[in-house]
Amino acid sequence: MFPRMANSAPSFRAPRGTSITCANWQIEAMYRMVQNNLDAEVAEDPARLIVYGGSGQAARNHEALAGILATIRRLRPDETMLVQSGKCVGVFRTHVDAPRALLANGNLVGDWSNWDEFRRLQQLGLVMYGQMTAGSWIYIGSQGIVQGTYETFAAAGRRHFDGELRGRLVVSAGLGGMGGAQPLAATLAGATFLAADVDAERIRKRLDTRYLDHLAGSVSEAIDLAWKKRAARQPESIGVVANATELLDAIVNKGLVPDLLTDQTSAHDMLNGYVPDGMNLDAARALRGSDPAAYVRRARDTAVRHVRAMRRLQDRGAVTFDYGNNLRTEARDAGVADAFTIPGFVPEYIRPQFCEGRGPFRWVALSGEASDIARTDELVLEMFGDDRSLATWIEAARKRIAFQGLPARICWLGYGERHRFGLAVNELVRRGELQAPIVFGRDHLDCGSVASPYRETEAMQDGSDAVADWPLLNAMLNVAAGATWVSVHNGGGVGIGKSLHAGQVTVADGTPDAARRIERVLTVDPGIGIARHADAGYDLARSVARERHVDLGAG
Active-site residues: which are they? 411
Query: Of 76, 17, 11, 98, which is closest to residue 49 (Cα–Cα)?
Result: 11
What is the rounded CA–CA span in Å between residue 450 and residue 445? Answer: 7
* Beta pairing partners, 450: 501
DSSP characters over 440-470: EEE-SSSSSSEE-TTTTTTT-TTS-TT--HH
Task: Please enumerate in sequence order all residues whose Cβ is within 8 A of that of 92, keeping only pairs 6 or more positions apart, or say none.
Answer: 79, 80, 82
What is the rounded CA–CA span in Å between residue 398 and residue 507? Answer: 23
Question: Which amino acid appears at position 74 of this protein?
Answer: R
Query: Of 361, 472, 378, 459, which is closest to residue 417 (Cα–Cα)?
Result: 361
The answer to whether 170 and 231 have CB atoms below 8 angstroms apart is no
The answer to whether 411 and 390 have CB atoms below 8 angstroms apart is yes
Q: CA 471 → CA 1, 83, 452, distances in Å?
A: 28, 18, 10
What is the rounded CA–CA span in Å between residue 192 and residue 171? Answer: 9
The answer to whether 357 and 526 have CB atoms below 8 angstroms apart is yes
The answer to whether 406 and 366 have CB atoms below 8 angstroms apart is yes
* Beta pairing partners, 173: 196
What is the rounded CA–CA span in Å between residue 71 and residue 100? Answer: 11
Helix (H, G, I), strand (E, B) or coil at 352: helix
What is the rounded CA–CA span in Å between residue 545 and residue 550? Answer: 5
N residues, the chain? 555
Helix (H, G, I), strand (E, B) or coil at 438: strand
DSSP characters over 480-514: HHT-SEEEEEE-TTT-TTS-EEEEEEEEE-SSHHH
Helix (H, G, I), strand (E, B) or coil at 437: coil
Question: Which amino acid appears at position 527 of this protein?
Answer: G
**Positive or negative, the Cα torsion across 224, 226, 230, 232?**
positive
What is the rounded CA–CA span in Å between residue 75 and residue 457? Answer: 37
- Report strand pairing: 192-197 vs 169-173: parallel
Q: CA 354 → CA 66, 126, 240, 351, 360, distances in Å?
A: 38, 35, 34, 5, 10
Helix (H, G, I), strand (E, B) or coil at 240: strand
